[in-house]
Amino acid sequence: MSKKSTRRSFLGQSAALSAGVGYFASTTPRLFAEDTPMQKLAAGCIGVGGKGGSDTSHIADNGVQIAGLCDVDGDILTKKGREFSDAKQFDDFREMLDQLGDKIDIVTVSTPDHTHAVAAVKAMRMKKHVYCQKPLTWSIAEARLMRETAEETGVVTQMGNQGTSQDGLREGVEVIRSGAIGDVSEVHIWSNRPVWPQGQGRPEGEDPIPANLNWDSWIGPAPMRPYKAGAYHSFNWRGWVDFGTGALGDMACHTTNLSVMALKLWDPIAMTALINPGIVEGETFPGSSSLKFEFPEREGFPACDFFWYDGGNLPPDHIISQLPKSFQRKIESLRKDPTQRKTSGAVVVGSKGMLFSPDDYGGQYVLLPSDQYADFKPPAQTLPRIPFDSGVDERQKWEFVSTIKGEYEPGTMSNFGYAGRLTETILAGNLAMRAGEGQRIEWDAKTMTSPNVPAVNDFVSREYREGWELEGLMQPAHA
């Protein structure tokens, strides 16, 4: 029997690596023991400035040919084109995917949140392996569709919450699951975001659209609005409800990752905005908020409440007072001078002790009280470690590409099966900011609806602008 492999048969084999929905992709590594791809993997990269610039370069560093570059900003496209001079350039990802067709195997999506789903779902339906930045999607319904599409197509997927690829996060998950801190009743997570404008209305007037900017493609599926210099493109879009997901959407896929994975914090049954200045003029998320998510008993875990704080809000003093003295001093200094850079952190409260992670990615942790855990030794390893020594971002790209090649048996940990559920959980919190302060929103995750505050159901999805429709997407409740 011939051992020669075609490009198509190789891709069909590699697609099996991410067909599962869970912490790890299901794998069939023996398919690669005999067959070797005869052609180098190629990628089309959507959004190649900022984070997209490093995503493109890191994919290339793993031996992938960059065949297509797409960005709505001509200056960014020209700059990245100097690095990859053989790549074809586009300012509309629909055209790139249509024209490159069978010439690419991988698609990276590093655009504003509101265009993630329409780009990634199209790519997956074309049987392309997809790396998509966090949050996975702009809406809850899109996250569900992304998860289902990944499962249906069997392509390899990965969301860009880089901490997932850190050994420290994986060890922290093992520690919590081992029972070292007992039964967990509360999780407190706070962020130094937003670091972009929020809590404001739409600017008046409009400016001429720069000649090198494809404004129609930048707006994508969102409702069209006038271009205003500096208001949206290229960074400040995060706070606008039409384009971004605010502080919660931006950072919670990082900062909650350890807790969600360890405790299976899927499908909250209720969300409440404890501090809620509200969506400003229907345009931007508030400058600060505090949220409460309620989770029922699930798969052996007791009921648990998860609290989120942003914009300078912090957990109550009885939590802060148990943290390391050095961190308490940092908090006290910040309270005296609010102009200092705000902190981020996560505290998992158990019946025996607490786990504290002082960074955004969850790659570091300490157990408290420290004297109680002075002789603590981590439990036996149950999660795989990535055998690639590099920066956290590069490690995640290695995990993604090596899974596609069939060289990494465990598969991608933040595949869309996992990332989709994480994103659904997180974005449910943004629904609470659509309601009044203190309003408890009951949530039915299966149907993606609130039975007691039906007004928020309008924001689970939205109608796409003509020409950017996404087949199979759940329509908003009012449609």
Residues 82-96 have pLDDT tens digits of 999 999 999 999 999
Please tell me the distance from the alpha carbon of residue 479 to that of residue 459, in angstroms, as a whole number: 11
Q: Would you say 175 and 367 are in contact if contact means Cβ atoms under 8 Å apart?
A: yes
Please give the torsion angle defined by the CA atoms of residues 27, 40, 161 and 411, in that order, rounded to the nearest 10 degrees: 10
Q: What per-residue confidence (pLDDT) applies to 16?
A: 39
Q: Which ranges in 337-387 belong to alpha helices (H)? A: none
Please tell me the distance from the alpha carbon of residue 345 to that of residue 188, in angstroms, as a whole number: 8
pLDDT higher than threshold 70 for residue 56: yes
**Which whole number is the average pLDDT over 413-437?**
97
Q: What is the pLDDT of residues 334-373, one digit of tens each?
A: 888 888 888 999 999 999 999 999 989 999 999 999 999 9
Angle ∠(157,80,413) on CA atoms, nearest 5: 15
At which residue do the structure tokens 């007004």 appear?
455
Please tell me the distance from the alpha carbon of residue 243 to that of residue 157, in angstroms, as a whole number: 23
Q: Which ranges in 316-415 belong to alpha helices (H)? A: 317-320, 325-336, 392-405
pTM exceeds 0.85: yes
Contact residues for 173 (Cβ-Cβ < 8 A; gap 6+): 258, 261, 262, 383
Side by side, which strands form the sheet with 270-275?
366-368, 354-357, 345-350, 184-190, 304-310, 289-295, 270-275, 440-442
Per-residue H/E/C for 123-134: HHHCCCEEEEEC
Please tell me the distance from the alpha carbon of residue 479 to that of residue 477, in angstroms, as a whole number: 6
The two three-digit tokens of residue 367, written as one number: 């157990």
**Which whole number is the average pLDDT over 370-398?**
96
CA 167 to chain centre: 19
In which region does residue 389 sit, left (phi positive, over 0), alpha (psi from -120 to 50) or beta (all else)?
beta
Q: Would you say 123 and 146 are in contact if contact means Cβ atoms under 8 Å apart?
A: no
Q: What is the pLDDT of residues 230-247, one digit of tens each?
A: 999 999 999 999 999 999
pLDDT higher than threshold 90 for residue 279: yes
The two three-digit tokens of residue 36, written as one number: 């070797």
At which residue do the structure tokens 């005869």 appear?
38
Q: Would you say 227 and 215 are in contact if contact means Cβ atoms under 8 Å apart?
A: yes
Q: Identify the band that residue 23 occupies on the pLDDT scale cut at 50, 70 and 90.
A: very low
Annotated domain spans of the chain: 7-164+390-420
Q: Would you say 213 and 207 are in contact if contact means Cβ atoms under 8 Å apart?
A: no
Residue among 24, 462, 16 nearest 245 (CA)? 462
Q: What per-residue confidence (pLDDT) applies to 341?
A: 84
Please tell me the distance from the alpha carbon of residue 361 to that of residue 346, in angstroms, as a whole number: 10
pLDDT higher than threshold 90 for residue 19: no
Q: Which residues lie across from 306 on neighbouring strands?
A: 187, 293
Residue type, 420: G
Q: What per-residue confidence (pLDDT) applies to 339?
A: 84
pLDDT higher than threshold 60 for residue 57: yes
Please tell me the distance from the alpha carbon of residue 134 to that of residue 251, in angstroms, as a whole number: 8
pLDDT higher than threshold 70 for residue 15: no
Q: What per-residue confidence (pLDDT) applies to 478?
A: 64
Q: What per-residue confidence (pLDDT) applies to 9?
A: 38
pLDDT higher than threshold 90 for residue 397: yes
Mean pLDDT of the chain: 91
Burial of 334 (0-12, 13-18, 19+ CB in 10 A): middle
CA 16 to chain centre: 23
The two three-digit tokens of residue 74, written as one number: 């001509």
CATH number for the domain whose boundaries are 7-164+390-420: 3.40.50.720
Q: Would you say 70 and 96 are in contact if contact means Cβ atoms under 8 Å apart?
A: yes
